């Protein structure tokens, strides 16, 4: 039995060594798996951080674009308001000018009418009175039928036998 004891000790030592080898091998595999999991977690976290940075940059760019668009709209609204104000001022100026011209023309017309009324009151219309001498035409005066040498033929007989009056 003495022979068996060293053999049993050797077998126990071998079993213990094999068991230790198996335990260390399992520990190594578990450590490798933990390293791989840590590496994957680090890569996933890095990818997530990059994605968040890209999203933040995109949001910042959109925000800047919105700010620029808002500024442009504000500037356009200001330009439109200024143009509307200038247009309104021009219309007011045109209306003032037209009103002033209308008033001036009205005053001028009233002055002309006053002047015409004043001039009509001071003068009477000259009318030609229909005297027989005034009604005679130049043809009658110079006509040889009147029979007078002077050509007046007032109070003279005509060839027709009537008095030329």
List residues bridging with 157 in a β-sheet: 163
Phi/psi for 163 (5° steps) reads -85, 130
pTM over 0.85? The answer is no
Give the contacts of 140 (CB within 8 A, at least 6 positions apart): 146, 153, 164
DSSP class of residue 2 equals T
In a domain, 1, yes or no: no
In a domain, 6, yes or no: no
For 79-98, what is the mean pLDDT? 96
Convert the pLDDT of each residue in 18-69 to its tens digit. 888 888 899 999 999 999 999 999 999 999 999 999 999 999 999 999 999 9
Residue numbers of the domain that contains 25: 13-113
Distances (CA, A) of 20 to 10, 13, 23, 27, 84: 15, 10, 5, 10, 94
Q: How confident is the model at residue 75 (pLDDT cuts 50, 70, 90)?
A: very high
In a domain, 144, yes or no: yes
Out of 63-77, 92-106, 117-131, pick the least confident. Answer: 117-131
Say if residue 102 is in the same domain as residue 164. Answer: no
Give the chain's domain count.
2
Say if residue 25 is in the same domain as residue 104. Answer: yes
In a domain, 83, yes or no: yes
Statement: residue 119 has pLDDT above 80: no
């Amino acid at each position: 039995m003495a022979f068996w004891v060293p053999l049993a000790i050797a077998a126990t030592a071998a079993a213990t060594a094999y068991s230790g080898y198996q335990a260390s091998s399992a520990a190594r595999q578990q450590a490798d798996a933990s390293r791989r999991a840590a590496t994957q977690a680090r890569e996933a976290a890095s990818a997530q951080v990059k994605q968040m940075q890209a999203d933040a940059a995109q949001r910042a760019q959109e925000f800047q674009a919105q700010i620029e668009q808002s500024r442009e709209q504000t500037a356009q609204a200001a330009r439109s308001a200024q143009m509307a104000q200038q247009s309104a001022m021009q219309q007011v100026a045109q209306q003032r000018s037209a009103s002033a011209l209308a008033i001036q023309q009205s005053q001028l017309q009233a002055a002309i009418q006053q002047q015409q009324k004043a001039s009509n009151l001071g003068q009477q219309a000259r009318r030609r009175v229909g005297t027989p001498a005034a009604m005679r035409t130049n043809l009658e005066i110079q006509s040889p039928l009147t029979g007078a040498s002077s050509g007046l033929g007032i109070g003279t007989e005509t060839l027709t036998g009537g008095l030329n009056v």
